[in-house]
């Protein structure tokens, strides 16, 4: 998620001397706002920059700015769901680690229990396998009353087992929501990037013409172009 976002920023900055998107939008807003100043507009009109053309660039920039805001909002939504997921997973894992550690001591001489509850394996890192390990542990306790009765003597009660099973279901629901938010955040990033690719080359071309057409350094500076002193 974050890596996708970072990759997008690299894509943008690689075209723009390592400026971030907000700086580029500010540059373009300044240039397009001052493009209609008579001292700039009249010379640039000679190379085809009519009012309609300038307004067209402004409209594309407005779209980019709006989509950039949408992207920021969507990534905030994604980050919120990611935080919920991480906290819930950590909460479940903490309880599970305690339960399985107790069970390993309790059932140390019970081969059937150790195999049923997968007590001899390590806890997987991959989410699907991690979830399956816990689902099996609590499912086996539920389906084998004699195991649950013994586990209850060390605090792994019916209530504790059911609480964990419910928490795992809640986590799965959060995961689905996170998947949805991640997709929306990526789609918003793609929309923003397409809008950027539409307007930024137009801005670059405009500035290139301006550097040739406008001999007055002050006018170039009004477009945001830094002019070195001679």
Confidence of residue 229 (pLDDT cuts 50, 70, 90): low
Rounded to an integer, what distance in angstroms lies between the CA atom of residue 140 and that of residue 136? 6
Residues 6+ apart with CB under 8 A from 54: 32, 35, 36, 41
Token couple for 19: 């400026």
Asked if residues 186 and 2 have their Cβ atoms less than 8 Å apart, the reply is no
| DSSP structural state of residue 177 | H
Residue 15, pLDDT > 80, answer: no
What pLDDT, on a 0 to 100 scale, did the predictor assign at position 13? Answer: 42
Cβ neighbourhood burial of 172 (10 Å; 0-12, 13-18, 19+): middle
Tell me if residue 21 falls in helix, strand or coil.
Answer: helix
Say how far apart CA 57 and CA 206 lie, in whole Å: 10
Based on DSSP, count helices (H) and strands (E) in the chain, helices before strands: 9, 0
Residue 113 to residue 131: CA distance in whole angstroms: 19
pLDDT band at 217 (very low <50, low <70, confident <90, very high): confident
Task: Taking residues 34-39, report their average pLDDT.
Answer: 95
User: In this predicted model, what pLDDT tens digit does every residue of 128-187 receive, in sequence order?
Assistant: 999 999 999 999 999 999 999 999 999 999 999 999 999 999 999 999 999 999 999 999
SS3 37: coil
Burial tier of 42 (Cβ tally within 10 Å: 0-12, 13-18, 19+)? exposed
Please report the pLDDT score of residue 18 as a whole number.
Answer: 61
Q: In Å, what is the CA distance from 90 to each residue of 85, 97, 105, 115, 188?
A: 8, 10, 23, 25, 29
Q: How far is CA 33 from CA 41, 55, 63, 82, 200, in A?
A: 11, 10, 15, 40, 15
Q: Looking at the predicted structure, is the pLDDT value of residue 121 above 90? A: no
pLDDT reported for residue 61: 98
Predicted local confidence at residue 181, as pLDDT:
97
Query: Can you give the pLDDT at residue 226?
Result: 79
DSSP 123: P
Q: Averaged over 215-227, what is the pLDDT?
A: 84
Per-residue pLDDT reduced to its tens digit, 42-97:
999 999 999 999 999 999 999 999 999 999 999 999 999 999 999 999 999 999 99
Task: pLDDT band for 6, please (50, 70, 90 cuts).
Answer: very low
**Domain residue ranges of the chain, discontinuous segments joined by +:** 20-222
**HSE on the CB side for 144, CA within 13 Å?**
16
pLDDT surpasses 80 at 5: no
**8 pLDDT more than 70:** no
Of the two residues 218 and 119, the one the predictor is more confident about is: 119
At residue 230, the pLDDT reads 52
Q: What is the DSSP letter of 108?
A: T
So what's the pLDDT on residue 10?
Answer: 37
For residue 105, pLDDT over 90 is answered with: yes
C-alpha to C-alpha distance for 153 and 124, rounded to whole angstroms:
27
Query: Residue 227 pLDDT > 90, yes or no?
Result: no
């Amino acid at each position: 998620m974050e890596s996708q976002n970072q990759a997008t920023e690299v894509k943008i900055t690689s075209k723009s001397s390592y400026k971030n998107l907000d700086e580029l939008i500010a540059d373009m807003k300044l240039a397009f706002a001052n493009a209609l100043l008579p001292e700039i507009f009249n010379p640039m009109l000679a190379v085809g920059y009519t009012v309609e053309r300038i307004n067209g660039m402004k409209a594309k920039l407005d779209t980019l700015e709006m989509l950039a805001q949408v992207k920021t909002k969507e990534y905030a939504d994604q980050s919120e769901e990611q935080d919920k997921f991480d906290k819930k997973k950590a909460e479940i894992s903490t309880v599970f680690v305690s339960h399985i550690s107790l069970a390993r001591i309790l059932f140390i001489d019970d081969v059937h229990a150790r195999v049923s509850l997968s007590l001899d394996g390590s806890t997987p890192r991959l989410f699907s396998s991690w979830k399956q390990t816990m689902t099996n542990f609590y499912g086996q306790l539920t389906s084998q009353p004699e195991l649950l009765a013994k586990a209850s003597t060390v605090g792994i009660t019916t209530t504790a087992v059911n609480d964990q099973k419910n928490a795992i279901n809640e986590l799965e629901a959060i995961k689905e929501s996170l998947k949805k938010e991640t997709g929306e955040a990526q789609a918003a990033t793609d929309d923003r990037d397409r809008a950027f690719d539409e307007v930024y080359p137009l801005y670059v071309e405009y500035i290139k013409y301006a550097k040739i057409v406008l001999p007055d350094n002050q006018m170039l500076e009004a477009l945001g172009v830094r002019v070195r002193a001679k």
